[in-house]
Chains A and B, each alone.
Chain A
Amino acid sequence: MSAQISKEPLIRVIKRAERPPRQVTMLRALALVLAIVAGGVFILCLGYNPISIYGTILSGAFRSTMAVQATVKIMIPLLISSLGVTLAFKMKFWNIGAEGQIIAGAILASYFALYHDTWNHWVLVGVMFLAGAIGGGLWGLIPALCKVKWNTNETLFTLMLNYIALYVVDYLRDGPWKDPGSQGFPKIARFSKNAMLDKVLGIQMGWIIALILVVVLYIYLRYTKQGYEISVVGESSPTAKYAVMNVRKIILRTMFLSGAVCGIAGMVQATGSDITLTENVAGGVGFTAIIVAWLAQLNPITIAIVSFLFSVLEKGSSVVQSSFGLSTDCADVLQAIILFFVLGCEFFIRYGFVVRKKGGAS
């Protein structure tokens, strides 16, 4: 027994000096390629030609102006909510409640779309935008308050709030907001034209909001005092306290903003794409957003690129569905495989292996 313990293991893991940025990029690219190969092997096992499936995904997303517009339309809520979760994740606050925050924002914005649709169009759009942000922000503030007060586990709490928000929509749909003109079928009425977001280049203007948010968040996280505070709290809460930062205030403020950005995603989806409020207003986007944010290393510019690529995957896989009969779920599977490989590759960026010398050292 003692001989076993004193023996050095055959392979040891050691922390390595930082790799040069080029090597890091190469490793990540390699992970991506491996993920695509792994997905291809899976497709092959099902008896299809991976190249023709991947080809269909790409061509499906770009085959016509309409297809490109549809791809962008998918990207809008994904991009915005990825930016939202990034704020919380930078602080190492595990907000997996984007789904609920999207819904909360959509609910509050829908109230104005349904009951104040006679207002001046631009006033209404402005109010709905604010309502979305406030709805999502407050929904994000609840777990943050409990976190700073009682150290409540935010991962599980935000998760439960997702379902609670979802059933609030169900409640509104079945009761107070039920469309009287739907002959008893439980649904919420379609918004009037006045409450719809305008189109720019044939796509709802949410894409402009999304791109503006990318720039704003890039600057906010990188060049402002508040952005700096977020990273310090994320790296080490004691350090932040030592630097006389008000950690509680930073957590509350950041989670409000994180929820608010997700809420905007909900408002944009409801008033720009769905033109009504349904329980599918978030439809899993809040979870995919976490994959996107993590893949993009929490960098807003990279998030824009990754969420566009993911939207290509989503749109393309709907074409794969219609031409091969394979389910659109393959987009989710591929996205997850990509993140699995990238998560694995992070290890090789930070650590290296040492093989035991012959005969064993010491």
Chain B
Amino acid sequence: MDLFIKFLVAAVLAGTPLLFGTAGEIVSEKVGHLNLGVEGMMSIGACAGFMAGYYSDSFLIALIAAALGGALGALVYGVLTVTFMANQNVTGLTLTIFGIGLSNFIGVYALSFSPNGTLKLPEGITAHMRSIHIPGLSDLPIVGELLFSYNPFVYLGVVLAIALSFYLSRTKTGLNVQAIGENPAAADAAGIRVIRWKYINILLGGAICGIGGAYCSMIINSGVWISNCVGGLGWISVALVIFAGWKPANAIYGSLIFGALRVLKYYVPKSYVNVPVAVYDMLPFLITALVLVVSSMHKSKGVNIPASLGLNYYREER
């Protein structure tokens, strides 16, 4: 039982960066823009957040820098695909290569100024990143550990996902945004500012991905800079969007399941199941692939994929 609780806690921690990545990508896909640059935007956010935290020793500044970094990456994507109508697949992929390269490059560059050959976040900021402790609540048996023992990112992620869910399906703006993703020409005719909202959503999505990246660089490796710290989580997030059915609230449990898959190998006793480590590492990707195939088999049954996803909108061609 104790082991199981530990496993769930680890799953939540491993799933959090996926939650940010997935939520960010949903916001972008809702306006019809499939941004394959999630991995890149997360990498930029990881680097911007870490470096800002390293030099300012402020958790808030690190968060803002990460969000701005991710949004900046998204801006490049937005300019190219919304205004210049470039191919979304290629642009997103290039953004990924750019983001990973840039953040590794800056990491190595910053390392060359470090006196001891490593980059470690200062004490002041790591204090903010520790697990919260609410007297009373956090001390409860089981519940305390399961619900009130995480770092601030986890709660931020859940609140964000719920807020986005509300934004997209309960506000007028959100419904307008969804209309853009379904049929931009009709939305335009109805007086919705298509270009403006495309930019806003793409940038917002990038900012959220950037915060997810900061989680990778600041929490996962306990505050020590490591190259390639995002390591494929962005790509899993892109796939998780499908798993979550384009609903931010569903992304919460989706990322929890995938987080669980990622940490499973540490918690399954070898005496029961003796499977090679590589199989565990493969599981999240294998299951994502299966989900993709199975969900495409049942295309007719209520899928929420935005109808104009991947297609650029050229106003003069309505």
Residues 285-296 of B, flagged 1 when their CB comes within 8 A of A and 0 if not, give: 110110011001
Q: Report the number of A-B residue pairs with Cβ-Cβ less than 8 Å.
A: 147
Residues 134-169 of A, flagged 1 when their CB comes within 8 A of B and 0 if not, give: 000000000000100011110111011101100110
Residues of A within 8 A of B85 (CB): 347, 351
Tell whether, in the assembled complex, residue A329 and residue B235 are in contact, meaning their CB atoms are under 8 Å apart: no
Residues of B within 8 A of A339 (CB): 90, 94
Tell whether, in the assembled complex, residue A346 and residue B84 are in contact, meaning their CB atoms are under 8 Å apart: yes
Tally of chain A residues near chain B (CB < 8 A): 52
Interface of B is mostly: helix
Residues of B within 8 A of A290 (CB): 90, 93
Q: How far is the CA of A15 from the CA of B316 in the complex (A)?
A: 9
| Identity of the chain A residue whose Cβ is nearest the Cβ of B103 in the assembled complex | A329
The reply on A219 being an interface residue by CB < 8 A is no
Binds A, one of B11-19, B105-113, B115-123: B105-113
Tell whether, in the assembled complex, residue B89 and residue A153 are in contact, meaning their CB atoms are under 8 Å apart: no
The reply on B104 being an interface residue by CB < 8 A is yes
The reply on A22 being an interface residue by CB < 8 A is no
Tell whether, in the assembled complex, residue B278 and residue A343 are in contact, meaning their CB atoms are under 8 Å apart: no
Known: A163-B232, A332-B97. A343 touches B242 (CB 8 A): no
Residues 272-313 of B, flagged 1 when their CB comes within 8 A of A and 0 if not, give: 000011110110011011001100110100000000000000
Tell whether, in the assembled complex, residue A288 and residue B105 are in contact, meaning their CB atoms are under 8 Å apart: no
Q: How far is the CA of A155 from the CA of B197 in the complex (A)?
A: 25
The reply on B7 being an interface residue by CB < 8 A is no
Residues 72-100 of B, flagged 1 when their CB comes within 8 A of A and 0 if not, give: 00001001100111110111011111101
The reply on A170 being an interface residue by CB < 8 A is yes
Known: A15-B316, A327-B104. A164 touches B286 (CB 8 A): yes
With beta carbons under 8 angstroms apart, the residue of A171, A329, A337 that contacts B278 is A171
The reply on B102 being an interface residue by CB < 8 A is yes
Known: A12-B316, A156-B238, A157-B289. A343 touches B90 (CB 8 A): yes
Residues of B within 8 A of A82 (CB): none
Tell whether, in the assembled complex, residue B97 and residue A288 are in contact, meaning their CB atoms are under 8 Å apart: yes
Residues of A within 8 A of B93 (CB): 96, 287, 290-291
| Identity of the chain B residue whose Cβ is nearest the Cβ of A334 in the assembled complex | B101
The reply on A340 being an interface residue by CB < 8 A is yes
Residues of B within 8 A of A337 (CB): 98
* Shortest Cβ distance from residue A361 to the other chain B in the assembled complex, whole angstroms: 14
| Identity of the chain A residue whose Cβ is nearest the Cβ of B85 in the assembled complex | A347
Q: How far is the CA of A332 from the CA of B286 in the complex (A)?
A: 28
The reply on B48 being an interface residue by CB < 8 A is no
Q: How far is the CA of A287 from the CA of B94 in the complex (A)?
A: 9
Known: A164-B282, A290-B90, A347-B84. A332 touches B238 (CB 8 A): no
Q: List 16 A-B contacts (CB under 8 A).
A: A12-B316, A146-B296, A161-B289, A163-B282, A167-B278, A170-B278, A287-B93, A326-B105, A326-B109, A329-B105, A332-B97, A343-B84, A343-B87, A343-B91, A346-B86, A347-B86
11 additional A-B pairs beyond A155-B34, A164-B282, A174-B278, beta carbons within 8 Å, are A150-B299, A152-B293, A153-B242, A156-B292, A160-B289, A167-B285, A329-B104, A339-B94, A344-B79, A344-B80, A347-B83
Binding site for A on B (CB under 8 A): 34, 36, 76, 79-80, 83-87, 89-91, 93-98, 100-102, 104-105, 107-109, 112, 191, 232, 235, 238-239, 242, 276-279, 281-282, 285-286, 288-289, 292-293, 296-297, 299, 314-316
Binding site for B on A (CB under 8 A): 1, 5, 12-15, 46, 94, 96, 146, 150-153, 155-157, 159-161, 163-164, 167-168, 170-171, 174-175, 284, 287-288, 290-291, 294, 325-327, 329-333, 335-337, 339-340, 343-344, 346-347, 351
